[in-house]
Amino acid sequence: MTRLYNDPADFADEMIDGFVAANRNHVRRVAGGVVRSTRTPDGQVALVIGGGSGHYPAFGGIVGAGLAHGAAMGNLFASPSAQQVESVVTAAERGAGVLLSYGNYAGDVLHFSRAEEKLNAAGIPTRTVVVTDDISSAPPAEKHKRRGIAGDFTVFKAAAGAAEAGYPLDEVVRVATLANERTRSFGVAFSGCTLPGAEHPLFSVPEGRMAVGMGIHGEPGIDETGVPSADELAGQLVGALLAELPEGIEEAAGHRVGVILNGLGSVKYEELFVVYRCVARLLEAAGLEVVDPEVGELVTSFDMAGLSLTLFWLDEELEGFWRAPADTPAYRKGSVAPAEQLDAAEIARTDEVPIPEASEVSQAAARQAERALAAIVTVVDENVEELGRIDAIAGDGDHGIGMQRGARAGAAAASAAVEAGAGIQTTLSLAGDAWANKAGGTSGALWGAALAALGGRLGDTDAPTGVSVSAGVTDAVEAIMAFGKAQPGDKTMVDALVPFAETLAAEVAAGHPLAEAWTLAADAASAAAEATAELLPLMGRARPHAEKSLGTPDPGAYSFALIAHAIAPVLTGGEEEK
């Protein structure tokens, strides 16, 4: 388990700060992640990778010459926000466009896709190749649904090699797409991982058993068996991968492959070498020629006990990129020509945001919004462990700490905005940006979108009324459903949010004061959140664990109901006439 930490909510930021301090010759800190500290030639396509922290060396550890130009680094097991991705891209790009590449997880797809849209709209040509190498996570007919695990590395390496070779953006995309199509991975786990501050692992494997095909966040595998010998495990891994050849390869014999035997966190290197000894023999017996194998940790999962095997089916072009030199904090190959260090001022970007003028009544409403966000922080802090416990039953257990990070960041941003004289629209918008940026993950994005939508309805001029607040909540519901694609019945926050919005609108229309209407709506949200215990999840990371979640409410719906009740007292005595 993870033993060394300060405040668990600060762990990811403190980890990144320490990582950068230890690797200044390779990386520089920017808002949202890291970029190369060395000069990249103008006109070179930039490869920006990313995902949640907790998978080192992925993702920051492989930023450097011959590999990524930047990495957007989310919180522990939480995707980086779209804002973080944009920030890293802005610092890393050199005028030839950007390739975004990351593992195929819902939160990452959500945030990176949103960033791609905004970057293209801003005039930075941006494309995406999502990694889908885990053969256990979906059948061949649904390859697009597969997870990205250690095969991330082969795709990143090929794409980076093409960029370093001067390929234009379309060609870098072609190479990365081909690399993904020719990469297959399969993994096993013997025990789960424990995040900082948690008393229990995110998931567990019965003593003396092995989960076959388990994902790096505890996603379910395809089987559970007794723990085999090292040679027996090598046979299982090789057999599974040779049973599914990439399109266009009729038989294995005669082909050249890159190989990764990847440790997931607590399997020792010595154990990996024992397994690889048999892997190498079996691949040779199958008529394959292994090229530059990698045995070690490239994509981990904190302290998870497990490993995976990746085969990268090479052609002449891909082999050149696989063997190309690289120099990063965690991965070095061959000899890379010395590169000029960038001055920190060349990388720095200002975080200052102008504050529009606002009326006095809107400024007063902003102060009330500040108090509401402070109330959210209090209720989340009081329930952070319970939210994590609920989430761990069918998810990855980080909902509590993610909500805590987001709420604290949103409240701090609101306080700064109020201090600067902002109205309620600007205050909520900045709070939403901070929430999404700090929390990461899907819930961070949804709360960010909700606050921005509510603020957009209220504006910076008029005093909020029951009618305008209710309309703003409806706008927030629409934004969340459009962004996250969830519908009532999917077992998400939407199941509590929709009845809240409908009740609020009905009570306001009936003439009730906002505080009273809000309290009744919060009661409706609580009842709806409790009812989600009888639903099966149809969206998000809990979906593969659907049966486990029966009897437990959705953590997003549950936390929303808590927050709705916490805000109600703030509205008493502070609302304007309806």
Q: Is the model's pLDDT at 354 over the cut of 70?
A: yes
- Answer with the one of 278, 308, 328 that is the final residue of a domain: 328
Say if residue 315 is in the same domain as residue 383.
Answer: no
Residues 308, 372, single domain; the answer is no
pLDDT tops 50 at residue 575: no
Strand 223-226 versus strand 27-30 pairing type: unpaired
Give the model confidence (pLDDT) of 120-173 as tens digits: 999 999 999 999 999 999 999 999 999 999 999 999 999 999 999 999 999 999
Whether residues 319 and 366 share a domain: the answer is no
What Å distances lie between residue 431 and 13, 94, 412, CA to CA? Answer: 19, 31, 8
Number of domains in the chain: 2
Per residue, the 3-state secondary structure of 89-129, as one string, reads HHHHCCCCCEEEEEECCHHHHHHHHHHHHHHHHCCCCEEEE
SS3 435: helix
Question: Which CATH number fits the domain that encloses residue 229?
Answer: 3.40.50.10440
Whether residues 30 and 149 share a domain: the answer is yes
- pLDDT single digits (tens) 464-512: 999 999 999 999 999 999 887 889 999 999 999 999 999 999 999 999 9
Q: Where are the alpha helices (DSSP H) in 310-440?
A: 316-322, 344-347, 360-394, 399-419, 424-439
Q: Are residues 324 and 391 in the same domain?
A: no
Residue positions annotated with a catalytic role: 217
Q: Model confidence at 450, in pLDDT bands (50, 70, 90)?
A: very high
Residue 339 lies in a domain: no
Which of 328, 344, 379 represents a domain boundary (last residue)?
328
Least confident range from 289-303, 304-318, 334-348: namely: 334-348
297 lies in a domain?
yes
Are 381 and 495 contained in the same domain?
Answer: yes
CA distances from 435 to 15, 197, 309, 498, 524 (A): 20, 21, 37, 21, 25
CATH number of 445's domain:
1.25.40.340
Confidence bin at 440 (pLDDT 50/70/90): confident
551 in a structural domain: yes
pTM for the whole thing?
Answer: 0.87
Provide the residue range defining the domain that includes 316.
8-328
